[in-house]
Chain A
Amino acid sequence: MSKKIICPRCESEHTDILTQSPVPGVWEVYHCEECFFAWRSTEPDFITDPAKYNTEFKLTREQLDQSGIMPAVPPLKKR
Chain B
Amino acid sequence: MAYQDLRTYLEALDAEGQLIHITEAVLPEPDISAAACAITKFGDKTPALLFENIKGYTNARIAMNVHGSWCNHALMLGMPKDTPLREQFFEFVRRYQTYPGKVEERDSAPWEEVVIEDDINLFDILPLFRLNHGDAGFYIDKAAIVSRDITDWDNPATQNVGMYRLQVKGKNRIGIQPASAHDIALHLKKAEELGEDLPIAICIGNDPLINTVAAMPILYNQSEYAMAGALAQEAYPVITAKHTGLQVPWGSEIVLEGKILSRVREGEGPFGEFTGHYSGARRMPVIEITKVSHRRNPLYEHLYLGQPWTEVDYFIGINTSAPLHVQLKEAFPEVQAVNAMYTHGLVVIVSTKVRYGGFAKGVGMRVLTTPHGLGYAKVVIVVDETIDPFNLPQVMWALSTKFNPQYDLVTIPGLSILPLDPASDPAGMSPKLIIDATTPQAPEKHGHYSQELRDPVSTEAWVEKLRELMPKA
Within B3-56, which residues are at the interface with A (CB < 8 Å)? Answer: 27-30, 55-56
Contact B283 A38 (CB under 8 A): no
Chain A residues with CB under 8 A of B263: 73
By the criterion CB–CB under 8 Å, are A36 and B55 in contact? no
B151 within 8 A of A: yes
* Residue contact B137 to A39, C-beta cutoff 8 Å: yes
**Cβ-closest chain A residue relative to B189:** A74
Given contacts A21-B56, A37-B137, contact A70 B419 (CB under 8 A): yes
A22-B124, A47-B130, A79-B151 known; A27 vs B281 contact (CB < 8 Å): no
Q: Does A51 contact B (CB under 8 A)?
A: no
Please judge, given known A-B contacts A36-B268, A37-B136, whether A67 and B282 are in contact too, CB under 8 Å. yes
Q: How large is the interface on A (under 10, 10 to 19, 20 to 34, 35 or more residues)?
A: 35 or more
Query: In the complex, what residues of B have CB within 8 A of residue A65's CB?
Result: 267, 283
The residue in chain B whose Cβ has the minimal distance to the Cβ of A23 is: B56
* CB contact between B185 and one of A35, A69, A71, A79 (< 8 Å): that residue: A71
Least CB distance from A8 to B in Å reads 11
Q: Min CB distance, B137 to chain A, in Å?
A: 3
Are A18 and B170 interface neighbours, CB within 8 A?
yes
A68:B185 contact, CB within 8 angstroms: no
Q: Is the CB of B133 within 8 A of A36?
A: no
Q: Can you list, as one digit per residue, whether each of A1-45 has a CB less than 8 Å from chain B (1) or not (0)?
A: 000000001000000001101110011010100011111101110
B438 within 8 A of A: no
- Cβ of B134 and Cβ of A57 under 8 Å apart? yes
Chain A residues within 8 Å of B175, by CB: 36
Minimum Cβ distance to chain B for residue A17 (Å): 11
Known: A36-B267, A69-B283, A71-B178. A42 touches B130 (CB 8 A): no
Closest to B133 in A: A47
Task: Give bound CA distance, A60 to B30, whole Å.
Answer: 25
Interface set, chain B 258-275, CB cutoff 8 A to A = 263, 265-268, 270
**CB atoms of A71 and B179 under 8 A apart:** yes
Query: What interface size band does chain B fall in?
Result: 35 or more
Q: Measured between C-beta atoms, what is the minimum distance from B272 to chain A in Å?
A: 11
CA distance A8 to B350 in the complex (A): 47
Contacts of B138 in A (CB 8 A): 29, 38
Q: Tell me which residues across on chain B come within 8 A of A75, comparing CB atoms.
A: 193
Q: Which residues of A contact B189 (CB under 8 A)?
A: 71, 74
- Chain A interface main SS type: loop
In the complex, which residues of chain B have a beta carbon less than 8 angstroms from the beta carbon of A23?
Answer: 55-58
- Chain A residues whose C-beta falls within 8 Å of the C-beta of B391 in the assembled complex: none
Given A36-B137, A36-B267, also A26-B169 (CB < 8 A): no
Contacts of B419 in A (CB 8 A): 70
A19 to B122, CA, bound (A): 10
Are the C-beta atoms of B194 and A77 separated by less than 8 Å?
yes
20 residue pairs of the A-B complex, CB under 8 angstroms, read: A9-B136, A18-B170, A19-B124, A22-B124, A23-B56, A27-B28, A29-B123, A36-B268, A40-B28, A40-B130, A42-B29, A68-B282, A68-B283, A68-B427, A70-B177, A71-B189, A74-B193, A75-B193, A76-B193, A77-B194
Closest 10 CB pairs of A and B: A21-B56, A38-B137, A26-B56, A64-B267, A19-B123, A77-B193, A71-B180, A57-B134, A68-B282, A43-B29
Interface residues of A (CB under 8 A from B): 9, 18-19, 21-23, 26-27, 29, 31, 35-40, 42-44, 46-47, 54, 56-57, 59, 61, 63-65, 67-79
**Extra A-B contacts (14), CB below 8 Å, given A36-B136, A64-B281:** A22-B58, A26-B55, A35-B267, A36-B137, A42-B28, A43-B130, A57-B270, A59-B281, A65-B267, A67-B282, A68-B427, A71-B185, A77-B193, A79-B194
